[in-house]
Amino acid sequence: MKAYSLQLNLKLGDIEGNLKKIENYLSNVEENSLVLLPEMFSSGFDNENLAIHAKETPKIYKWLKQVSEKRKLTIGGTLPEKGKSGIYNKAFVIDNGQIVFKRPKVKLFLPTGEDKYFKAGKPTYPVAETSSGNLGVMVCFELRFPNISYTLRKKGVEIILVPAQWGLSRKEHLETLSKARAIETQSFVIVSNTTGKIGKVDYAGSSAIYSPWGEKLAYIDKDEGLIEADLDLSSVYRVRKKIPMDY
């Protein structure tokens, strides 16, 4: 199975421009593939205007469902979504035209004030059974919490998706933690980050795809672009059999 990670330089608040760019990249992926988009890919963290951007999210879901169904794709990412208590940074997975997974980001990043604009989700970490395998999600800052990856591993995850907007000053942390999560869960890890300056923040890039053995199968440093790798899910079970960790 082919898997892709898209690394983008977003324009803050420019939903139309950002989606047009994503549409162009999606046209280059193979059918029957898995594609991960960055965290908050529609608007970026244009926090003062989140209520406006959240109103566009249903239309974006509709468009992605159409793309997914037409191209037989599994697509993951996060979008701002309004709930009863406020706006959530909602992770999703769309598989062959259907939304099969949603959960709000639980661990909000306090240094940038996410907690002032978003509501945190409840600490439940489901795994979605999809045509691309058993998928779990760790949204950006959540990558720092090994209890989350441990929970996903216990629930049978095969591929961990990490949609992110991870800052440049913590670039080495992103690379180290991504590899560590792959090794400790014996799962594939796919990271889709933003890059360059977006608003007032410089982002780290370093999107990558890691194997269950911790090998770097694909990587992009600072450029914008699409990376890809072939994932053989049987390798997950070969690694887990070689080094049993289920006791």
User: Cα(188)–Cα(31) distance, rounded to whole angstroms?
Assistant: 20
φ, ψ of residue 216 in degrees (nearest 5): -85, 100
Here the tokens at position 114 are: 């996410």
**Contact between residue 88 and residue 99 where contact means Cβ atoms under 8 Å apart:** no
Query: Torsion angle, CA of 79/19/199/56, rounded to 10 degrees?
Result: -50
Is the pLDDT at 246 greater than 90? The verdict is no
Are the C-beta atoms of 28 and 226 separated by less than 8 Å? yes
Which parts of 155-212 fold into alpha helices (H)? 171-185
Q: CB neighbours (10 Å) of residue 243? A: 10
Q: CB neighbours of 176 closer than 8 A, spacing ≥ 6?
A: none
Paired strand residues for 209? 190, 218
For 55-101, write each residue's pLDDT tens digit.
999 999 999 999 999 999 999 999 999 999 999 999 999 999 999 99
Position 247 pLDDT exceeds 80:
no
44, 100, 137, 142, 163 from 104: Cα distances, Å: 16, 14, 10, 11, 13
Distance CA 139, CA 206 (A): 15
pLDDT digits (tens, 9 = 90+) for 136-148: 999 999 999 999 9
Query: How confident is the prediction for the chain on average, in pLDDT?
Result: 97
**How big is the chain by its Cα radius of gyration, in Å?**
16
Looking at the predicted structure, is the pLDDT value of residue 220 above 80? yes
User: Residue 19 and residue 131: Cα distance in Å, rounded?
Assistant: 25
Cβ atoms of 60 and 23 within 8 Å: the answer is no
Write down the domain spans for the chain: 2-242
User: With a threshold of 0.95, does the pTM exceed it?
Assistant: yes
Scan for tokens 């309004």, then name that residue. Answer: 82
For the domain spanning 2-242, the CATH number is 3.60.110.10
